[in-house]
Amino acid sequence: MPHREDPVPDTPFGLGLQHVLLAMPRGGEDDARAFFGGLLGLTEIRKPTVLIARRGVWFRGDALEIHLGVEDPFRPARRARPGIMTRDLDLLSIRLREYGLPVEMDEFFPPYRRLISEDPFGNLLEFVTPRV
């Protein structure tokens, strides 16, 4: 799935995104599993042993890895958000609404169609798909 229409030069460092870290409140692991694992279909992955005591939960699927870490006191991210590619924005929109989450379609981001929603903790999430 292409990320951009315009050519982007390579950096001398070979940069790429390994994971995205989102905050969640203490005790939110089950809600994270229901949303990121259940609704989005990501697979929970084991955290390195040295990080287990920090709580949180990690997920991976397709070309995406999301780490959820406990933040105390917790405040959801209401501006910063990951932009997540999807093959089926329309189906995802339906599933998010069925889950009881807000869905705002945004047609002002060419060359993509996108929607803005949130995770169960109130962190903003952006989902995009290339226009055809």
Q: What is the CATH number of the domain that holds 25?
A: 3.10.180.10
Give me 62's structure tokens.
Answer: 């397709």
Note whether residue 45 is domain-resident. Answer: yes
Q: Given this model, what pLDDT does residue 1 score?
A: 47
Note whether residue 11 is domain-resident. Answer: no
Least confidently predicted of 15-19, 96-100, 101-105: 15-19
Note whether residue 102 is domain-resident. Answer: yes
Determine the average pLDDT of the residues in 43-54. Answer: 93
Note the pTM of the prediction, 2 decimals: 0.89
Note whether residue 38 is domain-resident. Answer: yes
User: Does pLDDT of 28 surpass 60?
Assistant: yes
Q: How far apart are CA 93 and CA 106, in angstroms?
A: 12
Give me 99's structure tokens.
Answer: 């889950």
Q: Name the residue range of residue 123's domain.
A: 20-130
Note whether residue 10 is domain-resident. Answer: no
Q: Given this model, what pLDDT does residue 131 score?
A: 87
Q: How many domains does the chain have?
A: 1
Q: Which residues pair with 104 in a beta bridge?
A: 116
User: Does pLDDT of 44 surpass 50?
Assistant: yes
The pLDDT confidence band at residue 117, using thresholds 50, 70 and 90, is very high
Q: Given this model, what pLDDT does residue 132 score?
A: 81
Distances in whole angstroms, Cα of residue 68 to Cα of each of 26, 44, 102: 11, 11, 20
Q: Given this model, what pLDDT does residue 124 score?
A: 98
Note whether residue 8 is domain-resident. Answer: no
Give me 4's structure tokens.
Answer: 């951009």
Q: How far apart are CA 102 and CA 52, in angstroms?
A: 32
Q: Given this model, what pLDDT does residue 99 score?
A: 97
